[in-house]
Amino acid sequence: GTTSALNQVAYGWGLYNLKPGDRILLTLMEHHANIVPWQLVSRHTGAELVYVPHTGDYALDLDALSGLLDERVKVVGVTAMSNVLGTINPIRQIADAAHEVGALMVVDGAQAVPHMAVDVKALDADFLAFSGHKMLGPTGIGVLYGKAELLEAMEPAEGGGEMISDVQLASSTWAAVPHKFEAGTPPIAEAIGLGAAVEYLETIGMEAVRQHEVEITGYALEQLGAIEDLTIYGPSDLAIRGGAVSFTLADIHPHDLATILDQRGIAIRAGHHCARPLARSLNAPATARASFYVYNVPADIDALVDGLQEAREIFGVA
């Protein structure tokens, strides 16, 4: 999925193009999949990792980003939508700034692509990755978009059958893109499933998907915001936020909230959501997260709120 795709970029491009003195610019909003591969590559190349913070209202600090961008930065990695905060980042604006200093723009599109219309050319992304399982498809498959000239110049991160043009005893030559990045037997059933998911979402229309999410998220923010002692992490402006809504309730541990809700047939996630640097910056080691999609209706929000009120009673929150 997205993790494999971002590793392909880090190892296939970063390992061969970064050197001591170079910088890799990431943000504190990144999922571990857009942090750890670059950490590993930095160990081998000597490139330095630097991070863009967020503001108090959960937006990316663009002034800080501008101050960090200079000729030392060779790659900028940014999530299009935070999987914790729901923040939708201004990817085209960041890409333009990155390209001005000669840096590549790598976009984690795992949260954005399933929830809104995404045009990679309009964003001017050099690379963009997303997963099947976040868009009604199967697990274990994803997509890596890259500009043709970059993909052709990249080295494969994995070797094996089907990705070669020829194999000699001492060396090999690669098949054309995309085959040189697809070593071994492909996930055939998963590819068929992802194709079906794409067709289904195209039938609905991504503009309709986004509009539904804006409406259901707005209702969720309104109802959750009325619960005493509940803190929501993420922008209140629906124009710049998606349907991932993270929160805490008084001093009840998010894992306890998730267990109580699970017993009532309500599925949420609890923890750091594979974004520990962000969690630390929020001073919230764990949060509960409700994530909304095309199948959610207002009654689901009502059930969530009722479950949270029950949790207050169980833990004796006044």
Q: How far apart are the first and last CA of the chain?
A: 44
Q: Tell me: the pLDDT tens digits for 181-203?
A: 999 999 999 999 999 999 999 99
For residue 248, pLDDT over 80 is answered with yes
Angle at 178 between CA 176 and CA 180, to 5 degrees: 60
Task: Spell out the domain ranges in the chain.
Answer: 2-198, 206-314
Q: Return the structure tokens found at 238.
A: 């629906």
For residue 130, pLDDT over 70 is answered with yes
pLDDT for 317 equals 85
Which amino acid type is present at position 58?
Answer: Y
Which amino acid type is present at position 2?
Answer: T
pLDDT for 318 equals 63
For residue 275, pLDDT over 90 is answered with yes
Q: Tell me: the pLDDT tens digits for 211-241?
A: 999 999 999 999 999 999 999 999 999 999 9
The predicted model gives 114-132 an average pLDDT of: 98
For CA atoms 4, 70, 240, 119, give the dihedral sign.
negative
The residue with tokens 């970063």 is 14
Q: Tell me: the pLDDT tens digits for 64-89?
A: 999 999 999 999 999 999 999 999 99
The predicted model gives 156-163 an average pLDDT of: 96
Residues 312 and 310: their CA atoms lie apart, in Å, by 5
pLDDT tier at 255 (50, 70, 90 boundaries)?
Answer: very high
Residue-averaged pLDDT of the chain: 98
The predicted model gives 96-106 an average pLDDT of: 99
CATH class of domain segment(s) 2-198: alpha beta
Q: Tell me: the pLDDT tens digits for 168-180?
A: 999 999 999 999 9
Q: In whole angstroms, how large is the CA radius of gyration of the chain?
A: 21
CATH topology for 206-314 is: Aspartate Aminotransferase, domain 1 (3.90.1150)
The catalytic position among 157, 164, 274, 294 is 274
Residues 269 and 254: their CA atoms lie apart, in Å, by 8
- In the chain, pLDDT over 90 holds for what percent of residues? 99
The predicted model gives 50-76 an average pLDDT of: 98
Does residue 274 have an active-site annotation? yes
For 51, residues 6+ apart whose C-beta sits below 8 A from its C-beta are: 25, 26, 27, 28, 277
